[in-house]
Amino acid sequence: MTTVYDVPADRFIRGLAEELKKRPEITPPDWAAFAKTGTHKEMPPEDPDWWFVRVASIMRRVYIDGPVGVQRMRTFYGGGKNRGSRPDRFRKGSGSILRKSLQQLESAGLVQHDKTGRKISPAGASFMDGVANNLAREKPGKATASSE
């Protein structure tokens, strides 16, 4: 069976985000429309569905790297802060976005928390592998062929 490792990350994250939109536990908080994703960013995301894409990305990262904690994830989602004429410096990503996302995934039963960190639950692994299997069965050029 196809797993998360067999599907390109960009296609998988978009497909997983579409599936997560259907779950009532995964909803963007009220402040998500105004929040930046880290101190290194100048503006909030332009995509109105950015919350679902970020939750899908976090879920994939927990699947691949788990068990992980919020601090390690903040480092992954960080980046260089523009300091004008001075050289860029690395800044961590937003911890609140990560915490809220992981809490929503836990309430949905897709991620579980133990003393070593957060990791994918068996139900979450099955859900993600099912999404990967559906994406692998689709033709990879399907979206680009229809746009021509």
pLDDT tens string 118-139 = 999 999 999 999 898 888 888 6
CATH number for position 50:
1.10.10.10
The residue segments making up the domain with residue 30 are 4-140
Give me the number of domains the chain comprises. Answer: 1
Which amino acid is it at 54? R
Residues 69-73 have a mean pLDDT of: 91
Is the residue at 80 inside a domain? yes
Is the residue at 91 inside a domain? yes
Residues 61-68 have a mean pLDDT of: 89
Distances in whole angstroms, Cα of residue 46 to Cα of each of 11, 51, 139, 143: 19, 11, 29, 22
For residue 68, the cross-strand partners are 118
